[in-house]
Structures are given as structure tokens and as C-alpha cells.
Structure 1
């Protein structure tokens, strides 16, 4: 038992060493995108019912380091603010599959070919899915211009704002999934025998079926999926099947499935799911049967897989800083859980209108959730201001005779749940 525990922590540290420099660089890129390419600029490229808007949506989505919890409200927000349904689906297909941080980590752990192939496939599947959805839809009539009133201007020093978003806001949004991905990868490395898949799944179809069935309901962000895929390859799974996991795992999960079906319609959801599954399997088959297998060989010992381009001091310092940041955010999450504010709520009454209501919204997990809730509630007639707390679910709304039915519908359309009115 002690040997298993020791091996687990050794594997966990090796994975951290492998990922840390590229992940830290990816977080920096995330901060740069946030400060110099904010969401209101993105909206301008997605509003028309044509292939160009779909292409733009996918092109914008590929480098953005958003996980599913941030992609869902962002994509629905684009749609509600005038983007075509196809553009929204294109964005929600390509964005969670990849991102600057996951591309760099993929290069580090799985090699340059997969790091290049992954965003290309995300781009192709996004464009195809968006085009297919738009093909069956009438052109959307935009009743109001894209919302630029609530644009958030970066105040103060932009370098500080970039670092704060990269290592506080964005990292805080994905840290629990990142930690879970690392722990799961280390656990698989310890408990799954070497060459398990090559010995027990001799038919490649079984590998693909196994990965798809595991990926669709599972939540795993694009970056956290990389160490898991690396360990699976070392255990004997084919590189193509690993790619299926890399594409389908981040792009599909129970929350995404529910929100897309609810907000964009069941037909749109079916097209979305088919695009992801077929695109991932087709890409996996291409890798396994058409491309040179030597492109996808990874080292048996991950801690020696450094590509010879990074100095030892940078690898170790990045790993130490990353570990400290992860521990900081996890401690913060635990602290919030133990000190979570409790408040008394009551059920929403149909047709009621309230002055300055406070409501409890379930499902907010990140800063993007908070921003989207606030932005869309402000668009309701009579609402002067809205302030959400993603840690507690507490949303304070300012305005006279606010229609709670409209608030509830707006929250529902974004994929959250209005769980009650908070009583003072």
C-alpha cells in the first residue's frame, strides 16, 4: 500500500513538472486575451447568418482558454445578443476543445503533431457544426443591436489586470478541474497495468466506444484532459482513441447537453452532438490509420520528456509556483465552503413583481457566469443594476417592480436555475 501511495505522488509530481511551464505560459496568454481582446469585440464578428460568421466564431473560439462552465453562458450570451444560432454552436464546439493553455500543454506532453492537429480539428468541427445548424434555420431577426452598453473597460494598470485575470480569476475558475485531472491521471498511472488496452481491447472499435461513452457525460476541461490522455496512451490505448477523448471530453458533458437542448432546441443539440462524436471518431481514425505512428510516440517516463528546450530551473520553478497557486485556490474554495453564507429563501410566485429583489441562482461557478448573469439581467425592463456573487449564488437586483418571471426566464436561458427569492 505504501508503495502505491509513494508511486502516486511521484507520478503526480512528474505530471506537474511536465505541464507547469506551458500551463503558466497559457495562463499568461489567457490574461492577454482578456485585457486586449474582450468579449464585446468578439460579438462583432458573429452576428450574421452566413458561413463567414460561423468561421469567425470558430476562429475566435480556438485560442480562447474557456472551459465548458464559461463557454456555455458565453455562447448563449452571443446568441441572445444577435449572433446566429450556427455561430453560437460553432463557438461552443471549438472553444472547449482547445485553448492556448491546452495547446501548449499538449505540445509538452503529447508532442507537436497532436498539438497542431487538435486546434485544426476543433476549427473544422466548429465550422461544420455551425454551418449545419444554420442550414436548417431561418435567418434570425435581430430586434436590437449587439449589447455594447455593458462593456467592461479595464481600469488601472493593464499588466496587473492581465496577471490578476490569468492567475486569480481564470485559474480560480478551472483549478478544481485542473487538480482533479492531475490526480486522476496519476491514479490511472498507478492502478492501470501497462499495455492494459492493447491486451484487453484488441479491436480498435472497442477503444473508441469506451472513450466516447466515458467522454460524453464526463466533465473535463481541455487542459486537464491532456495528462489523462498521455497516461492512457502509455497504458496502451491508441493515439486516435486518445484524441477522441481530448476532443469529446471537454466539448460534451451533462451541463452542456442540457443547456444547448433547452436554450437552442433539441434539433440543434442533436446536430451539435453528432458533429462532436463523428468529428472526433473520424479524426481518431485518420491519426491511427493514415498518419505516421512515429508522430505520436511519447516517452515512457514523462519526467524525461522535456523536448530539450527548457532549462531545469524554469521547469522546477514553474512547477513550484503552479503547485502553490493550486493549493492557494483550493484552500480558498474550501474556506468559502466552510464559511458559506446561509440565507432563507422562498419559492417564486408566478406573475409577481418586486422592488429591489434579491434572488438565489444555482449553477454559477466562475467569473464568466457572474458577468453573463449580470449583463443579461440588466437587459430586463425595469432593472437598473444587478450584482451577482458566483461563490454564494446571491444576486442583488436594483429596480422597481421587477418582473420575476422575466428574471427566472433569463436565468434559465443562460443555463442556470433561479432557486428562490431571498428573504431579508
Structure 2
């Protein structure tokens, strides 16, 4: 009995691994390349915006640059502190930080495993979330500061080897160590879902255009999300079993936005009242985006 169950689980695990492993490897290769060779250029482009008078258009550019930044939130906040000191406005910073929380080049590659439509929706919804956050800060905090970066210095740069090839290999090794366990856990959980969770249950919970399914997906994203690569196998399986694209988009917004390490970092620079406002914004945006996507697709 146990041997048969193991064979079933191994089959589901191996099929899922075969389907998604290439995306994980490619994501690490490209993600590390961006981190080593392009990160400073991306951040310098953003910093240079401080001297330009481009108004609201700066929010759009900031959101796009945030998605290209390879840093995690604990790395983004010290960088954002330096941006603030160099004259970058809070609304631009909000757009950059919001989209940076939700997406990065490596996660874009991972998400390609979900199909072109889901990938495009993820990119667009994250981009618009950053823009929305920036616009809200521009409207409601035009004359007062929203962030408190007191005490933050530049983050430590680990990519300092003179040999550029060695620098890249070390970054790739850190990347594998950071994402590998979550990736494997995600595939194991996906295999368990395939074996033991009826497909009809997933359709009932997350399928169709019902607001309940989108709200459930947004809520489930809060406790389940630990690493972007780890959730891709789960999302792939849920989509196969009837999860609507709107529900998937909602999950992909609340998940990274409420990841515990991101919340811990944000609470430091926002304070309790603005931190709670941030949580309300994320849930409201995720729900609204999911509803619109299901109506359109």
C-alpha cells in the first residue's frame, strides 16, 4: 500500500519536475545575470530621474524599473533610502517598491511555465499595481512624507569579485541555495494536491467568475506564499484543475505583497497606521484586478 502510494506520488512529482525544471534553471541563469551585470545600471537610471521634471510619467517609469530590479524587499528598502536621499519623490519610490515586491526578472521566467496569457497578466497587473500605489501617494501625501528611511544605509554588495565570471558563479550559487528548497517543496505540494485533492474542489473554490473564488485566492495567498518559484508548481496545478485566471492573478498579487519578510521590512519604514493602509490596498487591488480579469477573459 505504502509502496503504491509512493509510486503515485513519484509519478506526479517527476512529471511536474520535468515540466517546470527548465524554467527554474533559466530563471536563475537570467536572474543572476541581471543581478551581476545590470542591477547597478537599473538603479542608476532610477536615481537619475530625480533631476528630471517628468511629473506623473515618473510613476510609470518607476514601476517598470521596479519590476526589473532583482533585489528582495530587504535589499530594496536600503536602496530606496538612498534614492530618497538623492531626491526621488515618495510617489515614484512607492511605484518602484510596490512593483519590486511583486515581480523581478527571475520570477518572470518562472511564471512563463504558467503559459503566455498568465505571464502577460502577471506582468501587467504588477505594473499597474505599482502605478496605482504611486498615484495614491501622489494624491494623498503630496505635502507630507510617506516613508521613514531613518537609519537605513546602502545594502552590502556581495558581487565584488574582480573576476566577473567568478562573481556570476557565486551569485548563481547563492540563488540556487535561496530558491532551490522552496522550488522542491512547491513540486512536492503540487504532487500531493494532484494525488489527494479532488479537482472538483479546486474548481468550486477558485473557478468561474465568482467573487468568492477570487477572494479565497487572495486570502490563501497570504499564508501560503513563501517564495515565487515555490508557488509556480502549485499555481500550474490549480489552473489545470479549474482555477480561474482572475483568481490566479489575485493570488500572485497578495502572495508576494504579504510575504512575511516583505511585511517585516515594510512595517519598519511605514509605521503601523500606514502599514495597515498598505494591507487594505493590497487586498482591495488584488480582488478588483481578479474580478476585472475574469470579466475580460
| Category of TM-score, reference length = shorter chain | 0.7 to 0.9
Question: Partner residue of 1:117?
Answer: 121
Distance 1:143 1:230 in 2: 38
Q: Would you say the 8 A contact 1:22–1:101 is kept in 2?
A: no
Structure with the largest fraction of strand:
1
The 1:38–1:98 alpha-carbon spacing in structure 2 relative to 1, beyond 3 Å, is closer
Q: CA deviation at 1:154?
A: 4.1
Q: Which residue of 1 aligns with 2:202?
A: 197
Q: Does 1:273 align with 2:279?
A: yes
Distance 2:149 2:193 in 1: 51
Secondary structure in 2 matching 1:17: helix
Residues 20 and 283 of structure 1: is their aligned pair in 2 closer, same or farther, counting only changes over 3 Å?
A: same
CA contact (8 A) 2:187 2:233 kept: yes
- Say which structure is richer in helix: 2
Relative to structure 1, is the Cα distance of residues 255 and 155 closer, same or farther in structure 2, using a 3 angstrom cutoff?
A: closer
Distance 1:155 1:220 in 2: 30
Query: Is 1:158 the equivalent of 2:159?
Result: no
Q: Which has the larger radius of gyration?
A: 1
* Partner residue, 1:406: none
Query: How far apart are residue 199 of structure 1 and its match?
Result: 4.5
Q: Which runs of 5+ in 2 are unaligned?
A: none
Conservation of the 8 A alpha-carbon contact between 2:253 and 2:286: yes
Contact 1:185 1:231 in 2 (8 A): yes
Question: Residue 261 and residue 29 in structure 1: after superposition, are their counterparts in 2 closer, same or farther (change >3 A)?
Answer: same
Indicate the SS of the match to 2:199.
Answer: coil
Q: Offset at 1:37?
A: 1.9
**Counterpart in the other structure of 1:92:** 97
1:171 aligns with 2:176: yes
Contact 1:178 1:224 in 2 (8 A): yes
Deviation sequence 1:361-397 (CA, Å, 0-9, x none)? xxxxxxxxxxxxxxxxxxxxxxxxxxxxxxxxxxxxx
Aligned partners of 1:150 and 1:258: how far apart in 2? 19
Distance 1:162 1:199, change over 3 A: same
| Aligned pairs (5 A) from 1:394-413 | none
CA distance in 1, matches of 2:82, 2:123: 26
What residue ranges of structure 1 are gaps of 5+ in the alignment?
292-424
How many angstroms apart in 2 are the aligned matches of 1:200 and 1:53? 39
Give the C-alpha shift of residue 129 in structure 1: 0.8
Superposition map of 1:32-111 within 5 A: 32-39=33-40, 42=43, 45-46=46-47, 48=50, 51-66=56-71, 70-71=72-73, 73-83=74-84, 84-108=89-113, 110-111=114-115
Aligned position for 1:208: 214
Matches within 5 A, 1:223-372: 223-291=229-297
Q: How many residues get paired?
A: 284
User: Corresponding residue for 1:130?
Assistant: 134
- Aligned-residue offset at 1:152: 6.8
How far the C-alpha of 1:192 sits from its partner, in A, is 0.5
Q: Retained in 1: the 8 A contact 2:108–2:119?
A: yes
Three-state SS of the structure 2 residue aligned to 1:220 is coil
Return the offset for 1:39: 4.3
The verdict on how the C-alpha distance between 1:288 and 1:41 changes in structure 2, with shifts beyond 3 A counting, is closer
Following TM superposition, by how much is the alpha carbon of 1:42 offset from its aligned partner in structure 2, in angstroms?
0.7
The match for 1:358 is none
Alpha-carbon RMSD across the aligned residues, in angstroms, is: 3.3
Cα distance change of structure 1 residues 87 and 273 upon mapping to structure 2, 3 Å threshold: farther
- Secondary structure of the equivalent of 2:102? coil
Shift of 1:156: 3.0
**C-alpha contact (below 8 Å) 2:182/2:226 kept by paired residues:** yes
Q: 1:275 deviation in Å?
A: 3.4
Q: TM-score, normalised by structure 2?
A: 0.81
